[in-house]
Structure 1
Amino acid sequence: MFTNNDPFAAYQQSSVEARAASANQHDLVRMLLEACLDELTKIEGHIDNRRIAEKGASVDKCLNIIMGMDAMLDMENGGELAANLHQLYDFCHRQLLSASINSDTTKLAPIVQVITDINDGWQHFE
């Protein structure tokens, strides 16, 4: 929700929505991965600064992205790749919950690495 006091946030949101509306499936996945990485950075800052409500909101966004990407997998036709991505998303989900519950930023690094690796793979996929 935006207020008149935050025109930059409103601009950013409209820019993201415009990019999403014109994106193909591969671009959407890349956008989701990048959004997940951005939220992971925010989570670390929220934990470090003891901003509990903000941490919860960012964790929720990350979990929704991870669960959404997992739900998009074609487990019937995706073969080993889909199965491996499912396991990676499951790991990230569990690790993120643990990081949140324990307010432990060290548990974020493996998630960042997994999502970065997946994102790097998508950068080369067309």
Structure 2
Amino acid sequence: MTVMQGNAGYARGASAYARVGVESSVMSASPHQLIVMLFDGAQAAIRAARLHLQDGRIEARGESISRALNIINNGLRAALDIERGGEIATRLDSLYDYISTRLIEANLRRDMAALDECDHLIEEIASAWREIGSTTN
């Protein structure tokens, strides 16, 4: 076995271990904690996109922005209940739509300010969501 084969095996093992850890966290999380995890994931993807933009890694930037868009549209927006959530849910839906549009623009225009804006908007919502969680526990 070469060093490269050993390192590749270690990387696969570490990756599998991380996946199990994430899956365990998801399986044991409350609905509130799952939303917090979605916010965290979206922000991590945006931070990665920012780094890729700075380093000129076009494909990686696109993948990170796609990950953020997926979390926002298929996670956060999909979790909204417009009928029961009323005006708050409607406003959040509009805000998520705006964030999605800005992320697409950030990718197309290589716009760091748009990534920063999206990260800031998500943090505003996430911090309020975390505050709600701390008062209900």
Give identity over the alignment, percent. Answer: 31
TM-score, normalization: structure 2? 0.85
Residue 67 in structure 1 maps to residue 35 in structure 2: no
RMSD: 1.3
Whichever structure has more helix as a proportion of its residues is 2
Residue matched to 1:93: 100
Amino acid at match of 1:60: S
Structure 2 residues not aligned, in runs of 5+: 1-7
Please say which structure displays the higher CA radius of gyration.
Answer: 2
Segment of structure 1 superposing worse, 9-18 or 51-60: 9-18
Per-residue deviation, residues 58-93 of structure 1 (Å, max 9, x unmatched): 111100001021121101111111011111101100
Instruction: Identify the match of residue 4 of structure 1 among 6, 9, 16.
Output: 9
Per-residue deviation, residues 22-55 of structure 1 (Å, max 9, x unmatched): 1111000000100111111000011111111111
What CA distance in whole angstroms lies between the structure 1 residues aligned with 2:90 and 2:71?
Answer: 18
TM-score, normalization: structure 1? 0.92
Structure 1 residues not aligned, in runs of 5+: none
Equivalent residues, number = 124
Residue 105 in structure 1 maps to residue 104 in structure 2: no
Matches within 5 A, 1:12-91: 12-68=18-74, 69-91=76-98
Amino acid at match of 1:42: A
